[in-house]
Amino acid sequence: MSTVAPGYSGNASTSELLISKDGKYLYSGNRGPDSIAVWSVDAKGLVTRIADVSTEGGTPRSLALDPSGNFLYSMNQRSDTLTTFRIDPRTGIPRFTGSTVPVGTPSAMLFLPE
């Protein structure tokens, strides 16, 4: 099963797979189309693509979900940026918040316990 949007014909590779805190959504980062594929996960573990969202940056090295499960972050290696998305709790689809932080060649994000 392809992680890139139907009709995309360029080079692509998957950078990260994340599952939402509630297990209902799967997110896959895609280098090449610079996108996040969003999948719903049913009770049997079968996935259905529900959206493709731009990472708002180039070459997503990795993705991260914050501990609350409300935000998704894309570490965009080629554009040297970290972009922030708020996850719609009804649909699981991340929406760009408009926040882009310059970070030199970001590769991963970790959250420290409080």
User: What is the Cα–Cα distance from 20 to 88, expressed in whole angstroms?
Assistant: 12
Task: Judge contact between 111 and 72, C-beta under 8 A.
Answer: no
Q: Which domains does the chain have, with CATH numbers?
A: 13-102 (2.40.10)
pLDDT, the chain, mean: 94
Q: How confident is the model at residue 12 (pLDDT cuts 50, 70, 90)?
A: confident
Print burial letters for 1-24: b (CB count within 10 Å at least 16), e (below 16).
eebbeeeeeeebeebbebebeeee
Q: pLDDT at position 114, please?
A: 76
Judged against a pLDDT cut of 90, whether residue 3 lies above it is answered with no
- HSE at residue 106, side-chain half, CA atoms within 13 A, is 24
Give the tens place of pLDDT for each residue, 15-61: 889 999 999 999 999 999 999 999 999 999 999 999 999 999 999 99
